[in-house]
Structure 1
Amino acid sequence: MTDHIQISTQDRVTFLTIARPDKKNAITQDMYAAMAKAIEDYDRTDDARAFIITGEGDMFTAGNDLQDFSTDDSGDAEPPVARFLRAVRDCEKPLIAAVNGPAIGVGLTMLLHCDLVYAARSATFGAPFVKLGLVPEAASSLLLPAAVGMAVANDILLAGRTLTADEAVSFGLVARVFADDELASAVQKIGQHVAASAPNALKFSKQLIRGNRTEIEQQMEDEAKLFVAQLKSPDFRESVAAMMEKRQPVYA
């Protein structure tokens, strides 16, 4: 378990806060395990009927802790990150994201599986996988083009474009934007409204809206195989080394 994931429940709304501000809320494997367990517990109990994910401070999350990933040799059959992404994908109850600042990498891709996404005015959205010598994850290579169109998805995934909060709304990644100091209270009210709604109606409506998930599951498997291979590649090692040495990567 880790102190960097804070969980609390009030009035049937569970709040998960990514709380590692000194590292821009970068997520380690231990943090992924804690996040996965929190979502799994939420989905199987009646203690809460809405679940809000946010970040501490002025950052949602900078994505994966690359140093943690580059040194992981646990050999888990299902690594914690995979467990977390499966939990987000398969959760039958409403998941809400309050994006309080930059959402990078998995900070963006997890949003594609959330049911309600709201952002602070200062929030930005990016997925620099190619820059890091990696490939998209969480079925983002399928879901992002479906959400924003192929041209914009390629601009994000291949060219490294970062979206502003207003752009994210215009492209359909975010439902609404709030002033930075209003986001938390606004999303809490939305969470309370969702939690007070008929639970089975929410569950079945979510099933209908999401539709058949077979293609998404297969895409996640295909991405994961390539992602793991790239983690062991010279490209990824060079990208991490360049980041540590504060220089531009040089790829062979």
Structure 2
Amino acid sequence: MTATLRIADPAGGIRLLTIDRPARRNALDRATYAALTAALAEAGGDGAVRAIVLTGAGTCFTAGNDLADFRDTAETGEESAGLSFLKALAGCPKPVLAAVEGHAVGIGTTLLLHCDLAFAGAGARFRLPFVALGLSPEGASSYLLPLAAGPKRAAALLMLGEPFGPETALEAGIVNAVVSEGTALESALETARALAALPPESLAATKRMLRAGHAALVARTLESEAETFHALRRSPAAQAAFAAFFAR
């Protein structure tokens, strides 16, 4: 449990991670990324945990990266907290389910490509606004989204960056199902309970097999995207976009 991440075990074998920054629409800052990374590692190594559910507090999944962090252009030489989180999510050996209500912006959408299952409430709203912010895709979305959605739909979602609803997310393979507004977490927990009742060795082997074919490519894409993303983050266009956002 941290100030920005609530950790609970709502049922046997299920670990629930709730991003808890409602005043910031659950935007992800460095501290929250670090907490999520640690929580995924802990749950992944805990034999009592059979499935992990990720959601956001209140009526928002996550507004994506906290742009306040992006105003800092200092070089640290360290891997970014966001990249560490994405690696932990992509490499988690346990099934990860997402429950999305309200806004899922930027990494709030791309992280769903690394979840095994995802459920969206009917009022969910997604957006990949990287180009509009002077940035580039992250989260291996330049590789995974064309696989899930097809190259033309992926190009439209990533290049234009327009908001889209849960039905489009379903058609693009970003979520498994659209459920009644306010019931995404209920649906995710119900499915997590079903997964928790299955033989864990078989479940783990199936997840490994499903990901084995593209694990190396995902890892390389995460790294190459992060390099481009953070170079663009320091560009005048991106800094101007951030300044305009804070001037609203």
Distance 1:76 1:199, change over 3 A: farther
The question of 1:7 aligning with 2:25 is answered no
**Structure 1, unpaired ranges of 5+:** 247-252
Which residue of structure 1 aligns with residue 24 of structure 2?
23
- Superposed displacement of residue 50, structure 1: 0.5
Q: Residue 250 of structure 1 aligns with which residue?
A: none
Structure 2 equivalent of residue 59 of structure 1: 60
Partner of 2:219: 217
Alignment of 1:1-252 (within 5 A): 2-10=2-10, 11-71=12-72, 73=74, 75=76, 77-212=78-213, 213-246=215-248
Secondary structure of the 1:163 match is coil
- CA-atom RMSD, angstroms? 1.5
Q: Aligned partners of 2:111 and 2:148: how far apart in 1?
A: 13
For normalisation by structure 1, the TM-score amounts to 0.93
Q: State the distance in 2 between where 1:93 and 1:158 align.
A: 32
Tell me how far apart the structure 2 counterparts of residues 60 and 74 of structure 1 sit (CA, whole Å): 30
Distance, in Å, in 2 between the alignment partners of 1:158 and 1:184 is 30
30-39 or 193-202, larger mean C-alpha shift: 193-202
Q: Distance in 2 between matches of 1:135 and 1:60?
A: 22
Matches of 2:75 and 2:229 in 1, distance apart? 16
Write the deviation string for residues 48-97 of structure 1: whole angstroms up to 9, x where unpaired.
11100001111110100011232274715222211101001111110000
The 2-side partners of 1:115 and 1:2 are apart by 25
The answer as to whether partners of 1:5 and 1:16 remain within 8 angstroms in 2 is yes
CA distance in 2, matches of 1:182, 1:244: 33
1:177-218, CA deviations, whole angstroms, 9 ceiling, x for partnerless residues? 111232222221111111111111111111111233111111
Structure 1 pair 13–140 and aligned structure 2 pair: CA distance change class (3 A): same
- Measure, in 2, the Cα distance between the counterparts of 1:82 and 1:166: 28
What residue identity is the alignment partner of 2:232?
Answer: Q
The one-letter amino acid paired with 2:166 is: A
User: Using a 3 Å threshold, how does the CA distance of structure 1 residues 180 and 225 change in structure 2: closer, same or farther?
Assistant: same
Task: Please give the per-residue CA displacement for 1:149-173, whole angstroms capped at 9, x wherever unaligned.
Answer: 1111111111112221112112222
1:26, CA displacement in angstroms?
A: 0.6
Greater Cα offset, 209-218 or 90-99: 209-218
Whole-Å Cα distance in 2 between the matches of residues 49 and 73 of structure 1?
Answer: 40
Identity score, percent: 37
| Aligned mates of 1:144, 1:181 — CA distance in 2 | 26
State which drifts further: 63-72 or 141-150: 63-72
Residue 170 of structure 2 aligns to a residue whose secondary structure is helix
